Amino acid sequence: MNKKPLYKDKSSIQTLREGLEEYYAINPHLTPPDSQPPEFAKILLAHDVGHVIYGCDTGMYDELKILPLFWWTSECTFQKFREMRKTPAVDVMYDDMIQQNGVLWLYGNILRVLPPLMPELISIWVKTRNRNKRLPFLEFHPLLDRSLLDIRQEFDLLSFIK
């Protein structure tokens, strides 16, 4: 039986740095950010940090959940996401995913996951209305040596972690 990763424990006292190390150790299939062009590496690393802070895994459900979490609780608003999306390296990532798995696989998985995810997204949206304090996205480095619990409490994220 697989035990739950520490970073996914909502009250984890593991540091963000330790959580990120654990995340990469249990997901060896992920593209290492330092293997990418610098502009994209920064975005990819920030995305991976988000997985750790929000306690998300790499399945389609959590991948679709994490984007709105970013938009509604972090400095990576939808508008900033759209700007980052214009980065050529991001296009390469999406193109590679489609080339590896196919368009039908990608959209089929999205359509399969969206119905059970929708109630959670609506709940997240309601809880994040009028949010003032936003989690850093690209400038997360000052958080690396803080506990995940401390970060989650400061930015009022505990209710989004199962």
| Predicted confidence (pLDDT) per residue in 40-94, tens digit | 889 889 999 999 999 999 989 999 999 999 999 999 988 888 887 776 666 666 6
Question: Among candidates 21, 45, 52, 18, which has minimal Cα distance to 31?
Answer: 45
Give the mean pLDDT of 131-144: 95
pLDDT digits (tens, 9 = 90+) for 9-37: 999 999 999 999 999 999 998 888 998 88
| Helix residue ranges, H only, 29-102 | 38-53, 60-73, 78-85, 88-101
Reduced to 3 states (helix: H, G, I; strand: E, B; else coil), residue 158 is helix
Q: What is the pLDDT of residue 90?
A: 64
pLDDT digits (tens, 9 = 90+) for 97-121: 777 778 888 889 899 999 999 999 9
Question: Among candidates 156, 149, 128, 121, which has minimal Cα distance to 13?
Answer: 149
Q: Is 44 left (phi over 0), alpha (psi -120 to 50) or beta?
A: alpha
- The residue with greater pLDDT, 81 or 161, is 161
Question: Among candidates 61, 33, 37, which has minimal Cα distance to 140?
Answer: 33
Q: What is the pLDDT of residue 2?
A: 64
